[in-house]
Amino acid sequence: MMNSRIISDPNICGGEPCIKGSRIPVHVILSHLAAGDDYETILKNFPRLKYEDISTCLEFFFWG
């Protein structure tokens, strides 16, 4: 199930699921979360992201 915040386009990052409007792959956000970064740290490191983008990455991982 694709979410409106996540796209998979073969012309962007080789088709890896990414945050729409960016070239930030979902796995990068999930890696930061797995490393212990909180939402605020991720948002500071990736200023184009929104809080909902991070939540959507988690939903994509669990329900995707």
Q: What angle do CA 16, 20, 25 make, to 5 degrees?
A: 35
pLDDT at 3 over 80: no
Give the C-alpha separation, 54 to 44, whole Å.
12
Q: Of 2.170.8.10, 1.10.10.10, 3.30.390.50, 1.10.3720.10, which CATH number belongs to 6-63?
A: 1.10.10.10
Q: Is 18 helix (H, G, I), strand (E, B) or coil?
A: strand
Give the C-alpha separation, 5 to 64, whole Å.
12
Give the C-alpha separation, 51 to 49, whole Å.
7
* pTM to 2 decimal places: 0.88
Tell me the mean pLDDT in the region 42-63: 94
Tell me the mean pLDDT in the region 39-62: 95
Q: What is the pLDDT of residues 18-40, one digit of tens each?
A: 999 999 999 999 999 999 999 99
